[in-house]
Amino acid sequence: MGFGQILAKRVGYGLVLLIAVVVLNFTLITIAPGDVADAIAGDMGGADASVLVEIRQRYGLDQPFMSQLWRYLSSVAVMDLGYSYFYNTSVTELILQRLPATLLLIFSSQILAISVGVLLGVMAARKPNSLVNLCVTFLSLFGFAAPVFWTGILLIILFVSVHPVFPVGGMMNAALIDASFFEQSINIAYHLVLPMVTLASIYLALYSRLTRASMQEVLGSDYIRTARAKGLRENKVFYKHALKNSLGPLVTVAGLQFSAVMSGAVVVEAVFNWPGLGTLALQAILARDTPTIMGILFFSSLVVIVVNIFTDLVLRMIDPRIRAE
């Protein structure tokens, strides 16, 4: 199968998954007790039955389930996710406003976790009896067991309360709203440090352990023995032959983990008041702003699906054995 064909197949399948996600979310929200009309009436401080009927009519909630679902699906198809009555703006706009902050947090923490994780994993695999190896073992236990919000709070206590180095939360000083792009970026980077490190801590542990394991496996294989036998320098064997081939599992896991990374981001955003999709989701959920909730679920699934397709393609590029299948 050619590259284009595979891509087309993956994208088509992704679309089916996405539609299934929308249908599931819509069904859940419809069968749950209480609806938008109740929420709006609650915000108004109560309303009588005729007003409720009127609201339901305006939002099309009196229609049969299938026609509501069809209407929602066809508007999602043109990227219209409805209108948030809580924020008084279109949901698509609201999400696009918040998405960059979340993506910045997720990708910066993943880059940090992968680069440091691979480095530690390689060092540990190279010297199995070293301190680094022990560190990787401890780190991987810590990374799995420590609740991410707890790590974040400990960092806040340490770096905001005890040694005031970093800001307690938020993404940028409000005073810098008119400042230059450069100044703003520096300030955002400064605010990003703690959330990024917190989110990276879980995955740093995972990636270092994974790199160590797959390096150890690759180092035991025949072609490494061959490379050594023909007199290649140890560094070359290590970084050119072994590392390259042990990256496959890392890419697979990084892709598979992406949905979990988004979950982690929700919690980290809540800890640091990072104005991304996670904090938006929490506010929307507490306000029972169903169009926004559904929009966020849709967007996060979309991001996960896109990342999965991308991972698949990257794997095919770095590992010719997959291509052959």
Partner 1 sequence: MTDTAHTTELKDENVVATSPWREMATMFVRNYAAVAGLVLLTLIILFAFVGPLIHPVDPFEMVWAPFTTPMQDGFILGTDYLGRDILAAMMVGGQVSMAIGLSAALVSVTIGVSVGAFAGYYGGLIEELLMRFTEFFQVLPTLLFSMVIVALFGASLLTVTLAIGVVSWTAVARVTRSEFLRIREMEYVAAARSGSARDLYLIFNVILPNALPPIVVQANLMVGSAILFEAALSFLGLSDPNVISWGQVIGSNRPYILDAGFAVAIPGFAIFLTVLAISLVGDGLNDALNPKLRQR
CA 192 – CA 169 distance, rounded (Å): 9
Nearest to 87 by CA among 76, 96, 78: 96
CA 257 – CA 209 distance, rounded (Å): 15
Q: For partner 1, which stretch binds (CB under 8 A), given 38-46, 62-70, 114-122, 295-303? A: 295-303
Applying CB under 8 A, among 15, 260, 317, 322 the residue interacting with partner 1 is 260
Residue 243 interacts with partner 1 (CB under 8 A): yes or no: no
The least CB distance from residue 109 to partner 1, in Å, is 16
Applying CB under 8 A, among 55, 94, 196, 305 the residue interacting with partner 1 is 305
Nearest to 303 by CA among 102, 157, 145: 102
In three-state secondary structure terms, 31 is: helix
CA angle 189, 186, 193 (to 5 degrees): 20
The least CB distance from residue 182 to partner 1, in Å, is 31
Residue 304 interacts with partner 1 (CB under 8 A): yes or no: yes
Residue 135 interacts with partner 1 (CB under 8 A): yes or no: no
Complex with partner 1: residue 196 or 305, whichever CB lies closer: 305
Nearest to 305 by CA among 21, 103, 105: 21
- The DSSP letter of residue 263 is H
Q: Per-residue x/- mask for partner 1, residues 175 to 214, rule CB under 8 A?
A: ----------------------------------------
Complex with partner 1: residue 10 or 179, whichever CB lies closer: 10
Residue 33 interacts with partner 1 (CB under 8 A): yes or no: yes
Residue 308 interacts with partner 1 (CB under 8 A): yes or no: yes
Q: For partner 1, which stretch binds (CB under 8 A), given 3-11, 43-51, 111-119, 147-155? A: 147-155
Complex with partner 1: residue 186 or 287, whichever CB lies closer: 287
Q: For partner 1, which stretch binds (CB under 8 A), given 41-49, 114-122, 136-144, 236-244? A: 136-144
SS (H, E, C) 46-92: CCCHHHHHHHHHHCCCCCCHHHHHHHHHHHHHCCCCCEECCCCEEHH
CA 212 – CA 224 distance, rounded (Å): 16
The least CB distance from residue 306 to partner 1, in Å, is 10
CA 34 – CA 144 distance, rounded (Å): 37
Complex with partner 1: residue 24 or 44, whichever CB lies closer: 24
CB 10 within 8 A of CB 29: no
Q: Cα–chain-centroid distance for residue 297?
A: 12
| Pairing outcome for strands 89-90 and 83-84 | antiparallel
Q: Which residues of the chain form contacts with partner 1 (CB under 8 A)?
A: 17, 20-21, 24-25, 28-29, 32-34, 141-142, 144-150, 153-154, 156-157, 160-161, 168, 216, 256, 259-260, 262-264, 266-267, 270, 278, 281-282, 285-286, 288, 293, 296-297, 300-301, 304-305, 308
